[in-house]
Chain A
């Protein structure tokens, strides 16, 4: 059954790409701003850990205040949340459109878990593609990014975290979409 669900999801590639781009965009905003904030705060010229050569790069930069850091973190979080809600919304609308067909599958004896494969694979594909886009964009430019801003390895952790987060979140959304659809009706 999963190969049918996979085929069906793939045939909806336009929607999957749209979701993936929105997720990847939001994730990139999150990574970029939080990395910059983090690095600027902790590796600024005022910071004693800073080497002389690195201090050069930060000479004219304003060190963010805790307040502006928090604001940026909160805003990027909101953007990520909006993107995830967008994904959820797309999935729920799709499920509502196909509700009758999915119900019919249960009537002909397909178990609930197997019916769930259809939205699940759709969601996983979108999440995986978003993770892939983020990985493909950020991992290669990371070394340059790192030297340009003298970025610390922790930021790589942030990138990887976002990649994993989107993948896991898409799986959870896929599983929960049916319940949410039922609840909304």
Chain B
């Protein structure tokens, strides 16, 4: 049951050249096992988003290694990384990033088409997910007609489409008020009981940490464990 979905081993990352060079991550270590809901706190600019980008293979590490479900992200070909992002990682954005020209249902179908699912299979799966998100009545609406909370639930449904093992969520409730944030995170926290998934979420909101199974902090480029709930 305690399968390791993510291992970050002594990772370094900096930006810029010469005098402008800043080291952001200085030896980050972090593990994520099946069923965990880990929240990451840390001051602005400490590199929280950077960690998520590194996991998704959006930028390379300077040193160290990251393994996602046993796959070394640094050694992956472009195609292998795409496969990883499609099937193993689900990404949730602070600003939702749904295509306004598509309906909620179609937005959830996008990642399913990306792995070659047929229209009927993709539609069925997307409907199931939107039902799970309690959005059955909103499936055929454009995201611009949905509230922020509803849009984010579509974003989560999209992230779940291909049954990922890791959900990466970068301040998913950063654009929502406290009541909505609470609802969304409460819902997220129930996911590991429903499917084989673990969640790594970045947040500034201390009131949400009650839903986490573990809280970690990022300070001075390193992860420190704050508490095990």
Contact = CB atoms under 8 A, between A and B. Distances in A.
A108 B83 contact: no
By CB atoms of chain B within 10 A, which of A1, A7, A109, A118 has the most? A109
A110 B95 contact: no
Given A1-B113, A3-B119, A108 B102 contact: no
Interface string A85-119: 00000000000001011011101111100100010
B109 interface: yes
B111 A4 contact: no
Contact of A107 (B85, B101, B102, B119): B85
Interface in B189-215: none
Interface residues of A, number: 21
B125 interface: no
What secondary structure prevails in chain A residues at the interface with B? helix
Contacts of B89: 109
B119 A105 contact: no
Contacts, number: 66
A7 B106 contact: yes
Interface residues of B, number: 30
Contact of B90 (A4, A98, A108): A108
A12 interface: yes
B97 interface: yes
A137 interface: no
A57 interface: no
Nearest to B79: A111
Contacts of B101: 7-9, 11-12
B95 A108 contact: no
Interface string A127-159: 000000000000000000000000000000000
17 contacts: A1-B110, A3-B119, A4-B102, A8-B101, A12-B101, A101-B98, A101-B99, A101-B100, A104-B93, A105-B99, A107-B85, A108-B110, A108-B111, A109-B85, A109-B87, A110-B110, A110-B111
> 5 smallest A-B Cβ distances: which pairs?
A109-B86, A109-B85, A104-B97, A8-B101, A1-B113
